[in-house]
Amino acid sequence: MTMKILFVSEYYPPRIMGGGEINVETAAKALAKRGNEIFVLTSHHEGLKKTETKEGVTVLRRLDTGSNPSELAENVKRSFLFSKSIVKEVKAFLKKERVDIIHLIGAGIIAAQKLKENKVPLFATIESYPALCPKGDRIFHGRSECAVKCSFPKFISCQYDSGEIGKMKNRWYLKHNPAAWPLIYRHYAKLNEALKHCHLIAISGYVQGLLLQQGHESEVIPNFLDVEMFATTVKNKPRKNEKTKILYLGSLIRSKGSEVLLEAIKGLDIECRLYGEGILKEELQRKIQEQGLPAAIFSPVPYAEIPSLYAYADIVAFPSLWPEPFGRIAIEAMAAGKPVIGSAIGGIKETITKGTGILVDPGNVQQLRKAIELLMHDPALRKNMGLKGRRIAKELYAEERVADQLLLMYKSKASLYQNRP
């Protein structure tokens, strides 16, 4: 039985803010390949068509939201407009089309209570922490992984001690302006309340555990991955007289661990490339130049070009200091046949399994350095890890397999609505 499915995602390629947008695009295409009729309701941005259909997916760019959630003014706009915009546009869509499923991605969950009135099975993928943490990072007082449910007093204390608030550029303003605190906490509280109105999908066992701590049941369905997109990068042939090449992909902010990586590679005979933007970019560039580090920083590339970056690398570094909900970089590297060195925190502990890479304590420069040196001097180990990673990526994360999991959940939950008036 084929289905008609409406995804609601704040952003959608080519507008990519992170792994969530890549995941929903891959999911939509995979479900369309199975004969399902797929629509994606997303935000409109200048220069993009309001309606277009590609590879069986109809994209409707209609939602009002902030153009860049890293900017304070845009985030305030987003918190007030986004929910109303979703409710309005979904209502208008349902007047023209009857759908079997509405699937909310990320921040779209904020409209769940109102959307429930449409009596269409409502699903939500929890792929980040805004519904579980006002700062969105689950780092307590900027130092350690949070183990408590938030309250407004705890939030005030925690955010004031934190070095950054998510990826927000205006973090100094948020830390020192009490007028902003209730707005941030209000947005979190609305998202948290919305969880109870959906069938929840956690992208990792780690996220499932967090939801359960707050009284919410969920099923684990990992991120979708177009494994064959990375197939051409699987080489792993030792190159004589060439330096070992290390790749870092991600935002240049403290919670991603780029500073730790630069400390770890001091004095090593390697080449390290970091692709990303963020508030630390100038500071890191200055550090590389002043200390003569074997590293260079490049601007991010379009996602279609990412496989070529993995092809360059011998080792992929994933040194996050915060509990990543999943760890998309790890499974992409595995699909590309590359060994991964990652932090033993959050969802990364699930994606980097024994034999596909090396886990180190987050922020531990010496452990990270030792892991790099081990793989530097053992090309055979790198090759074996890469081959095993490629096999596991195909077994666990290939879009065909994950699509089957999602469709099974849709059908099992949708059957609960069949006899309702």
Successive 10-residue mean pLDDT values, the chain, 421 residues = 93 82 95 97 90 96 73 63 90 95 92 92 94 85 78 82 52 64 85 94 96 94 94 58 92 93 97 94 97 97 93 96 94 96 96 94 97 97 96 96 96 73 46
**Same domain flag for 147 and 264:** no
In CATH, what number is assigned to the domain containing residue 71?
3.40.50.2000
Cα(320)–Cα(242) distance, integer angstroms: 28
**Same domain flag for 182 and 231:** no
Please give the pLDDT value at position 170: 44
Q: First vs last Cα of the chain: how many Å apart?
A: 22
Q: Give the 3-state secondary structure of residue 16.
A: coil
Please give the pLDDT value at position 364: 97
**Same domain flag for 144 and 175:** yes
CA gyration radius, the chain? 21
**Same domain flag for 324 and 256:** yes
Please give the pLDDT value at position 169: 46
DSSP β-bridge partners for residue 213: none
**Same domain flag for 22 and 86:** yes
Enter the pTM of the model. Answer: 0.90
For 192-227, write each residue's pLDDT tens digit.
999 999 999 999 999 999 999 989 999 999 999 999
For 109-157, write each residue's pLDDT tens digit.
999 999 999 999 999 999 999 899 888 888 887 777 887 778 888 888 8
DSSP H helical ranges for 142-253: 152-161, 171-176, 180-194, 205-213
Is the distance from CB of 357 to CB of 315 less than 8 angstroms?
A: no
**Same domain flag for 87 and 200:** yes
Task: Decide the pairing of beta strands 357-360 and 244-249.
Answer: unpaired
- Each residue of 6-20: b (16+ CB within 10 Å) or e? bbbbbbbbebeebbb
Cα(42)–Cα(63) distance, integer angstroms: 6
Q: Residue 283 sits in which domain range?
A: 227-396
Tokens of 161: 């001690």
The one-character DSSP state at 280 is T
**Same domain flag for 295 and 326:** yes
Concatenated DSSP letters of 310-365 = HHH-SEEEE--SS--SS-HHHHHHHHTT--EEEESSTTHHHHS-BTTEEEE-TT-H
Please give the pLDDT value at position 144: 78
**Same domain flag for 200 and 210:** yes
**Same domain flag for 73 and 103:** yes
Question: What total of structural domains would you count in the chain?
Answer: 2
**Same domain flag for 215 and 239:** no
Residue 86 phi/psi, 5° resolution? -60, -50
Please give the pLDDT value at position 71: 61
CB atoms within 10 A of CB 316: 26
**Same domain flag for 239 and 378:** yes
**Same domain flag for 314 and 203:** no
Task: Decide the pairing of beta strands 101-105 and 139-140.
Answer: unpaired
